[in-house]
């Protein structure tokens, strides 16, 4: 399962780790920690050394009840960081955005993946991906960050979200974005209650039917806090457990804050599942 991310080609048949780099003041876990170019670059380099294959750079917080920001503010936060990372670090830079303008500028600076929590539903976003030629990750979110956790409702959370994502895949294909440029993300925590998140993970294999790689973001999320009654900074063990279960159920990319620890559990999980002894 080879995917081309800008100038790099990766085999996604083995699970890969994506390191989270929020250059925001208000993200739920690490807001304000990396909101300067130098701090962000140092952290990106650290995550790559620890084994991250992707660095996902985001400038707009999408935590529940997050405030909206202007496109210009988002670009001012993100573009200098992308430029510095692509110039200094051998990695695939993913840009976490729904802004068509930022998608285009990030591609010009060497980004290799567009990661859109709104699944290219923002006006102009679909055409931006067509024009950049980059692969895209389509995520499901019910509602918007400002109100998505108020009263999320599904007839059946797995079939509802799978249906949404297959429709978005078809929209992309109709515009000339082939499946070998599409990754899907069921959007854990985005308009989902604890019961929805647990149901989604339990039946994650369903999403493999799309024939697209599956990305999951479970790191430090509130579902762990709700189950274990722990603050964000104490959710590592829960995050690792969820990563293992996601990989067992077919996840190709795990998006995480704690790269070194996740790389270790991914390596062990893959060895058990696939009898893969390479490097062991």
Distance of CA 225 to the CA centre of its chain: 20
> Please, what is the Cα angle at 12 between 9 and 16, to 5 degrees?
100
In this prediction, residue 61 carries a pLDDT of 77
Buried b (16+ CB within 10 A) or exposed e, 239-263: bbebbbbbbebbbbbbbbbbbebbb
pLDDT digits (tens, 9 = 90+) for 71-114: 999 999 999 999 999 999 999 999 999 999 999 999 999 999 99
Average pLDDT over residues 133-160: 87
pLDDT digits (tens, 9 = 90+) for 172-225: 999 999 999 999 999 999 999 999 999 999 999 999 999 999 999 999 999 999
In this prediction, residue 252 carries a pLDDT of 98
| Fold for the domain defined by 2-274 | TIM Barrel (3.20.20)
CA–CA separation, 81 vs 95, rounded Å?
10
In this prediction, residue 68 carries a pLDDT of 78
CA–CA separation, 242 vs 234, rounded Å?
14
E strand or H helix at 256: strand 253-256
CA–CA separation, 53 vs 57, rounded Å?
13
**Phi, psi dihedrals of residue 92, rounded to the nearest 5°:** -90, 120
pLDDT digits (tens, 9 = 90+) for 51-82: 999 999 999 877 666 677 899 999 999 999 99
In this prediction, residue 278 carries a pLDDT of 55
pLDDT digits (tens, 9 = 90+) for 5-46: 998 999 999 999 999 999 987 544 554 566 688 889 999 999
Enter the pTM of the model. 0.92
Active site residues: 221, 255
In this prediction, residue 1 carries a pLDDT of 82
In this prediction, residue 24 carries a pLDDT of 81
| Domain range summary for the chain, segments of one domain joined by + | 2-274
């Amino acid at each position: 399962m080879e995917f081309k991310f800008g100038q790099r080609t990766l085999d996604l048949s083995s699970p890969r780790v994506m390191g989270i780099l929020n250059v925001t003041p208000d993200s739920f876990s690490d807001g304000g920690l990396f909101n300067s170019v130098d701090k962000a670059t140092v952290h990106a380099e650290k995550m790559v050394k620890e084994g991250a294959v992707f660095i996902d750079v985001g400038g707009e917080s999408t935590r529940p009840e997050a405030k909206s920001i202007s496109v210009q503010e988002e670009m001012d936060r993100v573009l200098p960081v992308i430029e510095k990372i692509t110039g200094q670090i051998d990695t695939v830079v993913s840009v976490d955005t729904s802004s068509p303008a930022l998608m285009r500028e990030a591609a010009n600076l060497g980004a290799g993946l567009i990661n859109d929590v709104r699944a290219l539903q923002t006006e102009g976003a679909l055409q931006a991906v067509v024009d950049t030629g980059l692969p895209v990750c389509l995520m499901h979110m019910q509602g918007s960050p400002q109100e998505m956790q108020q009263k999320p409702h599904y007839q059946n959370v797995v079939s509802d979200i799978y249906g949404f994502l297959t429709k978005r895949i078809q929209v992309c294909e109709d515009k000339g974005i082939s499946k070998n440029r599409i990754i899907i993300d069921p959007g854990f925590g985005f308009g989902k209650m604890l019961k929805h998140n647990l149901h989604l993970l339990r039946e994650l294999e369903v999403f493999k039917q799309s024939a697209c790689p599956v990305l999951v973001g479970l790191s430090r999320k509130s579902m762990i806090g709700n189950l274990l009654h722990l603050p964000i900074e104490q959710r590592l063990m829960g995050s690792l457990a969820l990563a293992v279960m996601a990989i067992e159920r077919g996840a190709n990319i795990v998006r995480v804050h704690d790269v070194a620890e996740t790389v270790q559990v991914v390596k062990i999980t893959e060895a058990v599942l696939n009898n893969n002894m390479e490097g062991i």
